[in-house]
Chain A
Amino acid sequence: MKRRVVVFAVLASAAAQAQEARPQVLREGEQLRGRFTQERRLQGFARPLRSEGDFLLVPGRGLIWRGQVPFASTLVITQGGILQLLDGREAMRLPASRAPGLGQFYQVLAGAMSGDPSNLGQVFNVVWQADGSHWQLTLTPRRADDPGLASIASIVVSGARVVEAVAVSKANGDADLMAFHDQQIGRSAPDAAEQALFSQLAP
């Protein structure tokens, strides 16, 4: 789980990190909405686990990840931890104090949101490539024994104006691929239902 959390740190930070290659940076009071498709390619599974849905990222508050296919589910990630809802009911709640990897996640997320990607460099070796309007970041953990990242071999983030894809490769051969589309950067506040989701995890 920790690994997945880091993926989203990277997703969030990519917008900031890629500033020089002209991706748009999320500013204070802004939010990012979009749709995702996710594919988990896990060893010991007959086929990739595919899902799709939409997401909302609000700097300073957190991330809402709403799966629609193959089944409906809602995941909220904030400072306070992680909350999984099914049919609107709480199915799982993990406070940040129980998941040390979340701490690292927020360090990276906060750095990315403020437009300061320097935190990312503390944890990862960052290789930057740009090709015309497209850019690509390759991240490899600095320390092999970092408990939050132990099983991650590399993370590749790519995009143009905004981040478009994240690929996480694990040491055991598993890989998670996420693609984003229909991204919109808005200034309107999250709606009441979304606010309620965030506040359920308020620390």
Chain B
Amino acid sequence: MRRWAAWCWLAVVLLAGGYVALRLHAGLHLQSSVLALLPRAERDGVADQAQQRVAEAGARRIVLLLGQADAGRARAAGRALAEALADSGLVRGVTAMVDQAAQQRLGAVYFPHRAGLLAAADREALLAGDAPALMERARAMLFSPAGFGDSALLARDPFLLLPSFFTALPLPQSRLAAEDGQLVVRDGGLTWAFVSAELAGDSFSLPVQQAFEAFFAVHLPADVQVLRTGALFYATAGAKQAMGESSTLGAVSLIATVVMILAVFRRIRPILLAMLDIGIGITVATAFCLWWFQELHTVALLFGASLIGVAVDYSLQYFAAYFDPTAKTATERLHRVLPGVGIGLGTTLIGYCTLLLAPFPGLQQIAAFSCLGLTGSFLTVALWYPQLDRAGPLPHGGPMLALLNRHWAVWEAPRLGHVRLAVLALVLAAAAAGLPRLQADDNVQHMQDMPPELKRQEAEIQRLTGIGGAGQFLLVRAADGEAALQAQEAFLPRLAEAQANGLLAGFQAPAQFIPSVARQRQNAGLVARTLLPLLPAYVEEIGLTAPPQPAPEDPLMPAMLPVDGPLALVRSMVLEPGTQLVLLHGVADLPALRTAMEGAPGIQLVSLADDWSVLFGVYRRQALWLLGFSVLLMLPLLIWRYRWATPRVLAPSLLAVLVAPPIAALFGLAFTFFNAMALVLVLSIGVDYAVFCRETPPDRRGVTALAILLAAVSTTLSFGMLAASQVFAVQAFGTTMLIGISIAWLLAPLAGGRPS
């Protein structure tokens, strides 16, 4: 029967492995969008698409400024870099020069439709009855040495309203000056040459990052200052750090764990078995999640794999039984530890399954992944270990077990009462001291680790050029394109006012480039009513004899805009005719801006970083609720098994969960979603330790103490090491684990032992 079950399990494992291999072969794409973590009911296909569009466009762009006191040298360096980039094949397009042809194309597109095109300021002037001012401006332009126009232009646009409309267009790079055809910005004594490029590859791909590293090592001259920004540089720095860190921390923890197991057991077999166990857990979990959810989120994989790590504790219970001289065979060893491991698995599954109750796909995936992985690992221990392991008991455990018996003694010896009190008092005092410093932090910018030097350069580039990451935008939704443009025209004055009040640095809206047909008709009417009456006198004054050629009434339609050149931007802001984006730049005060835009119909202010932060807050609170709820759900199982001893079994882990956050706060760490997830782990692991202890008869106490010590040390080595990480979120997670697991381990024997 048992053999038959083992073979069945092998078939399942092979099936799962085959499925994962198949998906990997087909090009497995891990989901990494924050939106995939949102509750399905709250997911919004259009907002999804808009965010993705903005994020992708932003992720491919890099901006460099090359600064030098000598303007000529700065320009030469910028030009050389732009040419090298264009020749490198690494980028799709480079912007460093003013594109004259593009400017002329712009004119050609707009000119036939000039009748309804008015700059916002001109429209206001006309509405305010200030038509003569526009007439005087046109006259001054005509007379000035840099003056516009010949009779051909003046006959068609006598008040030069179209040039004014052009000047007001919020094209990108409008804070830059042109010198020698090249885009530059002057600041203090320095001239900065502007070079921007769109990557051909993915910023987050390692080969792309390496190719750019090599490129910049060669092509950035030493005699200029360089400012750079773009997802590429952040991703490169992040990957370098993560690799450096995870390879160091990972190697240290792996080596330490292996050394520990070798030192304790003096055998290689436990290591091989444990690796098999964990590997199967992860494979089975991945296969199921990919099949069930059809996709796997990186967050789920990351936390799920961590949670499965608990499975090694079950193996360690089994391995420690090598030192039990009464357990002669693998089957006997299994029988000794199975009750504890079974109850432990039960409580842990209950704990993780509560995460399934949350309507959040991220938590559901984590829960499903961990439950399946743990079950898979458990089945591997229960079904395969007896088949794979033919070893007898190990003889060298005596001194170790004698030593570890003292761990129990601390909690049981009548003469050590004061020690127990002192330990508890110390833990509680530390928690009490940390409590006032405990605060939640959901800011996504704190979760990611942004190198301060890159942040400084980004801020500097934004100050100099006005170009910054467009992580914020307004999503405009209406029945059709015309309605969307009209909606923008209704709220753009409010946005302009917000800009004047310093809430943001600038914005770009499709309606600024293509006024709605209604607005174009209004404009034409306004001009006819207010300006055209001035025309005869004006024509007489300047002596224009060329017959006026009124502009045709032919409204500009969105489809008429060219798809390349400067107006490509406008096309990219129109997702669908009725769904358009208004890009916001340099948002200084998001809450105030939100308030200012409140009540405008059909618009939604979207802020990528902000949305991440809100989501992290929601996930953090959800995780805490579910943590409390899972304790309740564990109770029936624990009460069924332990009756009146249930509070003793729960006490160590509950105490660990309660005191770990304030003690972490003592080290200046805020409480984030990652800490909450660490607490879920601390609870399930802590309950396991207590259960293992509770299930242990007096003669096996040393064995169990050894098992939970090894479990605590290996958990600390794999998670607690993360406390040394430079990445804030990882550090928060690691520190909470380190503190929580230490306390849960220390207090575990409080659960008491099974009477002999």
Contact = CB atoms under 8 A, between A and B. Distances in A.
Interface in A75-114: 75, 77, 79-82, 84, 86, 91-100, 102-104, 106-107
A42 B104 CA distance: 23
Contact of A96 (B133, B143, B177): B177
B196 to A, nearest CB: 13
Interface in B82-116: 98, 100-101, 103-104
A80 B184 CA distance: 10
Contacts of A130: none
Interface in B137-163: 137, 139-152, 154-155
Contact of A4 (B98, B147, B154, B184): B147
Size band of the A side of the interface? 35 or more
A65 interface: yes
A5 B181 CA distance: 14
Contacts of B148: 1
Interface stretch (A26-34, A46-54, A135-143, A190-198): A46-54
A81 B184 CA distance: 13
Contacts of B542: 45, 49
Given A44-B545, A47-B543, A91-B136, A97 B176 contact: yes
B462 to A, nearest CB: 16
Contact of A97 (B140, B150, B178, B546): B178
Interface in B418-446: none
B233 interface: no
A92 B543 CA distance: 23
B100 A40 contact: no
Contact of A49 (B143, B176, B178, B184): B143
Given A44-B150, A147-B104, A103 B181 contact: yes
B167 A98 contact: yes
A100 B173 CA distance: 13
A155 interface: no
Contacts of A94: 167
B174 A98 contact: yes
Query: At the interface, is chain A mostly helix, strand, loop or mixed?
Result: mixed
Contacts of B543: 45-47, 49
B164 A92 contact: yes
A7 B175 CA distance: 26
B286 to A, nearest CB: 52
B142 A84 contact: no
Nearest to A43: B151
Nearest to A81: B177
Nearest to B540: A46
Contacts, number: 141
B725 interface: no
Most chain A CB neighbours (cut-off 10 Å) among B103, B150, B164:
B150
A8 B186 CA distance: 23
Given A91-B137, A97-B176, A40 B545 contact: no
Query: At the interface, is chain B mostly helix, strand, loop or mixed?
Result: mixed
B209 to A, nearest CB: 31
A55 B373 CA distance: 83
B151 to A, nearest CB: 3
Contacts of B178: 96-97, 99-100, 102-103
A3 to B, nearest CB: 9
A51 B143 contact: yes
A83 to B, nearest CB: 10
B147 A40 contact: yes
Most chain A CB neighbours (cut-off 10 Å) among B139, B146, B167, B186:
B146
A133 interface: no
B144 A75 contact: yes
Contacts of A188: none
B179 A103 contact: yes
A10 to B, nearest CB: 11
B564 interface: no
B144 A65 contact: yes
A203 B141 CA distance: 22
A47 B540 CA distance: 11
A44 B177 contact: no
A147 B144 CA distance: 21
A154 interface: no
B699 interface: no
B103 A100 contact: yes
B166 interface: yes
A178 interface: yes
A152 to B, nearest CB: 12
Contacts of B183: 97
B150 A4 contact: no
Contacts of A170: 150
A1 B145 CA distance: 8
A175 B545 CA distance: 17
Contact of A107 (B133, B166, B180, B545): B180
A74 to B, nearest CB: 9
Nearest to A82: B146
Contacts of A203: 177, 184-186
Given A1-B146, A100-B181, 20 more contacts: A1-B148, A4-B146, A43-B150, A43-B151, A44-B154, A45-B542, A46-B543, A51-B143, A65-B145, A71-B139, A75-B146, A77-B146, A86-B136, A91-B136, A92-B140, A95-B177, A98-B167, A100-B100, A103-B178, A170-B150
Interface of B: 98, 100-101, 103-104, 133, 136-137, 139-152, 154-155, 164, 166-167, 171, 173-186, 542-546
8 contacts: A1-B146, A1-B149, A4-B146, A44-B544, A71-B140, A84-B140, A84-B144, A103-B182
The 8 residue pairs across chains A and B that have the minimum distance between CB atoms: A44-B151, A44-B546, A46-B543, A103-B178, A91-B137, A73-B140, A100-B100, A203-B177
